[in-house]
Structure 1
Amino acid sequence: YTLAGIILLLLLHPDPLLVAKAVANQAAQGSQSSSDLEATRDGRKGIILGALIMIITQIVMVAIMTMTPVHMKHHGHGLGEVGLVIGFHIGAMYLPSLVTGILVDKIGRIAMAMASAVTLLLAGVVAALAPTDSMVLLIVALSLLGIGWNFGLISGTALIVDSTTISNQAKVQGSVDVLIALAGASGGALSGMIVANSSYSILSYAGGILALALLPIMLWMRSKRA
């Protein structure tokens, strides 16, 4: 982290925030247009929707990911096998980012958020149905879980960026990041309680269903914006 900070401090010039502020100031007309109030309302909806997408995808991802090693150890898998499954999962969380960004721009934020919900549902179903001795299906399930999280994080972030201004963007994103961290912590804690009182399969199904609940929310928000 220290080395990353030093690299950014020395090499990230000009500062993107300063550039963005300069561009915004150039574009400003000095007076609010008649559509500013409506834009503010749309902005709030976009912030709420973006935050919901990221919070729900974080809960689902952390809950299933946290209990997968426990589930595997209970059924005789070694640490190397656990590491392999989680390694595929972590790779699937971050490696698709460049492609995901392009898709979010090309086909839209809402469409990619819907893809996130469907992918997380598939991850939950595969994880729930996978035989305990099937490494292949566990890898598929956790890879889908990572990809679904990636879709949700990037599409939700893009919605928030679209719905904020230079003056409040950092504050809003920081607040949402705090909520995401709390959601992840809650998902990890609750997942253990669910598995202890039911099963890993029930947790996986519950995660998939929770992710799928995003679809009606997004459709409703899209209709309101239209």
Structure 2
Amino acid sequence: MAEPRSDHWDAAYRRTEPDRLSWYEASPAASLAMIDACSLKPRASAVDVGGGTAHLAPALLERGFGAVTVVDLSQAALDAAQAAFGTAAGRIDFVCADITSWVPGERFDLWHDRAVFHFLTDPHERDRYIALATESVRPHGFLILATFAPTGPERCSGLAVQRYGADDLAARFAPAFAMRDHMIHTHVTPSGVSQVFTYVRLQRHASD
């Protein structure tokens, strides 16, 4: 029987310090640049999909976001984040769930995902993710996705990934979303390995 995905990621967080994991960023600068470009209203709501121990959620609070949710498969990651974020943790909603089956109780002004979507190699799971994002982002809200680029790694943390260019990502989320911006960003892991990412900033059309 295949290992449950939650067990895989719990094990990754338990055997390695967060700042030694390959996806660790001291500062989520690329994501924040795209978020700032959205010019969202004060007290906007955001969800960080697969946020784990990333520093994005506290940074969003500092930028004036009102409601911030972090969704991750790994309870170990969320426990570590709550311990590390100090008083900011009390203002963040931490949810342990598989994004392909999660049912949020609200809609968001911003949906952010750095390095979750590219792990969805099953077409049915990708379809569920796209449907959930479409339902969960408010009209005129934003979806920021970062996946491995076509020249990026073929695997991460022992798992296969699906690599994307900006046009491919935009096409998958059309017609509900339109691309507003994109960029290539090279992430250097704590061990010094370069990983090329595609970032896209998509905006939700007004609901019919």
Query: TM-score normalised by the shorter chain: which range applies?
Result: under 0.3
> Which has more radius of gyration?
1
Higher helix share: 1
What TM-score, normalized to structure 1?
0.25
What TM-score, normalized to structure 2?
0.26
